[in-house]
Amino acid sequence: MSTAQLFALTPGEPAGIGPDLCLLLARTVQPHPLVAIASRELLSERAVELGLHIELLSASPGNWPSLPAPAGSLYVWDTPLQATVQPGQLDAVNAAYVLQTLTRAGQGCLDGDFAGMITAPVHKGVINEAGIAFSGHTEFLAELTHTEQVVMMLATRGLRVALVTTHLPLKDVAAAITAERLTQVARILHADLVEKFGIAQPRILVCGLNPHAGEGGHLGREEIEVIEPTLELLRGEGLNLIGPLPADTLFTPKHLDHCDAVLAMYHDQGLPVLKYKGFGAAVNVTLGLPIIRTSVDHGTALDLAGSGQIDSGSLQVALETAYMMASSRS
């Protein structure tokens, strides 16, 4: 088989619901071979706690599967833990294990072993407690792949929202929206919609920063001084950018029915709408990387680990999105 059909799955924080999600996923057949990069012991113990009978099949470099695992089974590239895991109880000792799973998946994508990687949630705090500087999957994979600029995009059925700025205090957002940053983000969004989503001429709606998109300068001048001139230059490069539009009316069917993505200026401008529309069935996509990476739209849910009271819908959407992106890319 072509290795372009093989995907990597990382379960994230071992004390969270990531291992549970992997096991729940294994109950049905996936359309492509999928390898969980995880501790075999961890998955075996969690399966017992969940009352699931999942056969764990071995996979490793040189021994990759050529077909999807049968229902009730999961391919595992065994990655040993540093300490025994209790569901819901964080242990900084296992931080190195979490990063090893991500490194194996990311490097495997770079090497061509995997067509893409799908990630379950990690716990940033416990990794930092281990003395490892870590701000998230996105930054870790950007460094691993030597990528200078990446873009965060969340998607659910019928809506994609990318962000110019991500995790910044609101008071710092306006200063961070520079012509250079907006140009980089818009170019990456356009390029990946073409290359990884197979959209020949993507139509992107752009939010204004201020209420009513500044209302002609009466409610802020960022649209006039930064956003509008930058969008006009990018249109000259062939990007189809509509806006800046008032964010309160942009997210309505009149506009969304005729666009491929929305570019929001800051985190809480675009993501509340998307999560209202598709929470539990949304996916986080990192744009700008030379590899395909998708993730669930939720956290580690430590209190639910081992309980069986979880929904694997977001992971399934993350998988479907990765499959689609790989197909478009090839």
Binding site per annotation, positions for a divalent metal cation: 167, 212, 267
Residue 56 buriedness (CB in 10 A; 0-12 / 13-18 / 19+): buried
CB 150 within 8 A of CB 287: yes
Residue count of the chain? 330
- Report the C-alpha gap between 135 and 174 in whole angstroms: 22
Q: Which two tokens stand for residue 90?
A: 């964080």
Residues 6+ apart with CB under 8 A from 146: none
The answer to whether the Cα torsion of 45, 47, 49, 51 is positive or negative is: negative
Q: How many CA atoms lie within 13 A of 94 on its CB side?
A: 24
Q: Note every long-range contact of 77-85, with CB atoms under 8 Å and residues 24 or more positions apart, other chains counting.
A: 77/35, 77/36, 77/37, 77/38, 77/104, 78/38, 78/39, 78/40, 79/37, 79/38, 79/39, 79/104, 80/39, 80/41, 81/14, 81/39, 81/41, 81/42, 85/14, 85/15, 85/39, 85/42, 85/45
Residues annotated within a binding site for substrate? 137-138, 275, 284, 293
**Binding site members:** 137-138, 167, 212, 267, 275, 284, 293
Tokens of 195: 């290359």
Cα dihedral 172, 177, 181, 184, rounded to 10, equals 130
